[in-house]
Structure 1
């Protein structure tokens, strides 16, 4: 049995639950993640799509990712907290932002993506 995790937005209006995927947790420096988070990178925690449940209000934004395929970002419409990312390319997972986890200390990134897009003020560290 896989471990279930919970999380949600800052104001508490949107909540989620899902099982941890065996896909690596990662830190992403792509320009999309920079713009969507308002920071130099995002910290992404994969959950199994078929177990993922979101309750409460949310707004989804569709865009074309670096792969040329569709990606979707979900936010709380009340407080603006970023909640999830998902993509056509990795449809078996829903990626939640590690800061939205109820227990963010369980996040342990195993790799970085798009290091070459990192801003000079947010250079990638070595991940564990």
Structure 2
């Protein structure tokens, strides 16, 4: 797997549903650099950003794996909890803080955005 182009937590309402009330913690990697073994189910929906999203999950146990936005199909958003070593990619910032509950623990020493960030771009030659 290639190095992520971003690592962050997301507090949008849909991610809160996916994470049972908390934020999701994700890395964004070039999609062609990700190899996923086993069957995945796909759930298509529209995110708070307005982007059409495809979210992948294990059809056996329901574990959220990741997904991608149709406007950026070359990037894959991978849930950090699926990695063998989740400590390897700590969040670099937090997005959708405006929709986080009042009790949310948000690291204000790292970049925070109230909503959707600008699109990330993979380094040259990786997408």
Shorter-normalised TM-score: what interval? 0.7 to 0.9
Paired residues, number: 110
TM-score (norm 2): 0.77
Gaps of 5+ in 1: 5-18
Contact 1:25 1:44 in 2 (8 A): yes
Contact 2:6 2:29 in 1 (8 A): no
Gaps of 5+ in 2: 111-127
- Residue in structure 1 matching 2:74, options 88, 92, 97: 92
- Residue in structure 2 matching 1:105, options 71, 74, 87: 87
- Residue in structure 1 matching 2:3, options 20, 34, 48: 20
4+ long deviations beyond 6 Å = none
Q: CA deviation at 1:39?
A: 2.9
TM-score (norm 1): 0.77
Contact 1:47 1:96 in 2 (8 A): yes
Bigger strand fraction: 1
- For the aligned residue pairs, the C-alpha RMSD in angstroms reads 1.6
Q: Deviations over 1:65-87 (max 9, x none)?
A: 12222111111111111101211
| Distance in 2 (alpha carbons) for counterparts of 1:96 and 1:29 | 15
Q: Deviations over 1:49-73 (max 9, x none)?
A: 1122222121110001122221111
